[in-house]
Amino acid sequence: MRKTERYPVEGANSLWHIYKTVPFWKVVRNFIVIQAARYTPFLAMKNAMYQNFLGVKIGDQTSFALMVMLDIMFPEKITVGRNTVIGYNTTILAHEYLIKEYRLGNVLIGDEVLIGANTTILPGVVIGDGAVVSAGTLVHKDVPAGSFVGGNPMRIIYTADEMEKRVLTEPDGQ
């Protein structure tokens, strides 16, 4: 189960309560910064924009590919470790607005993680160090360190131990 905090709402669905949960001008600022960063080809500049304007915690030498979409409402709840690659058009969410409640959850992505293109990461998940997430995956639960996961719904394809055995038994260059 993902680690999220639940906030019930009365009356209209929770998205109608958006500016009771997050200030309007914060959303405007975040939207502008995220849209600019999505197209910025300079990785260091992109990371600086995310860290300095949005409060995202990012480790050294981490790369956000073109068109990555961070959570507009609560980007400060996202932490990405060092030397990690976030693939093209990936979405990282720290909130979800539902009918009768909204939920917030931290997203923690470890060191030396590879996230494939077009992946969606839901709030409240932890992706362990050295994990590989295949392209197009819906990350709806924690990913163990060193594992290879993929699919929708996400499943573990190889554990860290199985990955190590594969590396040790495969001939060089194949």
pTM score, whole prediction: 0.93
Q: Which domains does the chain possess?
A: 5-169 (2.160.10.10)
* Per-residue pLDDT, 160: 82
Rounded Cα distance between 174 and 169, Å, is: 11
**What tokens were used for 1?**
């189960």
Rounded Cα distance between 97 and 47, Å, is: 27
Which of 102 and 164 is assigned the larger pLDDT? 102
Average pLDDT of span 46-71: 98
Q: Which residues pair with 94 in a beta bridge?
A: none
Model confidence at 174, in pLDDT bands (50, 70, 90)?
A: low
Mean pLDDT (the chain) is 94
* Per-residue pLDDT, 165: 76
* Per-residue pLDDT, 154: 97
